């Protein structure tokens, strides 16, 4: 019967040799899984978390409302997704934002919130959201405000 098992890999070295080889593979799989998880969690890989975004938005609430038609220092952000820049009724936008002709979506909001003054020279908005995760989370929250 021993002769029939000679074809098994590592048979001549015993089962312990196979274990050493699979033990070397397990850390590599762990590293690959960790890299995959990081990529999936990155802004480019997945949308933000709207629940977390609602908490982050509390910093924005001093200037922006989420109630339709309730404009403050900044315009209401209810229904901002798909809206053109400078188009919220009854809000006095800067000429620069009116002329920018931006349609707000995940990409344009991310770009604008990174540095509003650099994106649209002359905008009234002077506060940025420097953290990419915070931006993605706020954007996910804004998307729920339809």
Report pLDDT digits (tens) over 34-52: 444 444 444 443 489 999 9
Residues 55 and 92 in one domain: yes
- Note whether 84 and 65 are same-domain residues: yes
Do 56 and 31 lie in one domain? The reply is no
Average pLDDT, the chain: 81
Shared domain check, 128 and 96: yes
* 56 and 102 both lie in a single domain: yes
Q: Are residues 98 and 120 in the same domain?
A: yes
d(CA 138, CA 113): 10
For residue 69, give the nearest of 77, 61, 81, 57 by alpha carbon: 77
74 and 29 share one domain: no
Same domain, 100 and 136: yes
What's the confidence (pLDDT) of residue 92?
A: 96
Name residue, tokens 């315009």: 75
DSSP 3-state of 103: strand
More confident residue, 14 or 37: 14
Residue 33 has pLDDT above 90, yes or no: no
137 with 119, same domain? yes
Q: Which of 10-19, 52-61, 90-99, 111-120 has the lowest average pLDDT?
A: 10-19
| One domain for residues 97 and 125 | yes
- C-beta of residue 60 within 8 angstroms of C-beta of residue 80: no
CATH at 88: 1.10.760.10
Q: Range of 19's domain?
A: 2-41
d(CA 60, CA 27) in angstroms, rounded, equals 43
User: Could you tell me if 37 and 58 lie in one domain?
Assistant: no
| Digit-coded pLDDT (tens) for 62-100 | 999 999 999 999 999 999 999 999 999 999 999 999 999
Contact assessment for residue 123 and residue 97, using Cβ atoms and an 8 Å cutoff = yes
Residues 123, 61 within the same domain: yes
Q: How many domains does the chain have?
A: 2
Instruction: List Cα–Cα distances, 131 to 35, 42, 110, in angstroms.
Output: 21, 12, 10
Q: How many beta carbons lie within 10 A of that of residue 53, not counting itself?
A: 22
């Amino acid at each position: 019967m021993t002769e029939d098992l000679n074809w098994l890999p590592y048979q001549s070295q015993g089962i312990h040799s196979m274990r050493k080889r699979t033990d070397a593979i397990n850390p590599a799989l762990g590293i690959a899984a960790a890299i995959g998880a990081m990529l999936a969690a990155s802004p480019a890989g997945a949308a933000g978390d709207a629940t977390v975004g609602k908490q982050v938005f509390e910093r924005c609430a001093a200037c922006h409302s989420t109630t339709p038609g309730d404009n403050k220092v900044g315009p209401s952000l209810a229904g901002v997704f798909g809206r053109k820049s400078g188009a919220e009724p009854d809000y006095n936008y800067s000429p620069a934002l009116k002329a920018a002709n931006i349609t707000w979506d995940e990409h344009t909001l991310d770009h604008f919130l990174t540095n509003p003054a650099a994106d649209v020279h002359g905008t009234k908005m002077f506060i940025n959201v420097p953290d990419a995760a915070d931006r993605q989370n706020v954007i996910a929250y804004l998307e729920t405000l339809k």
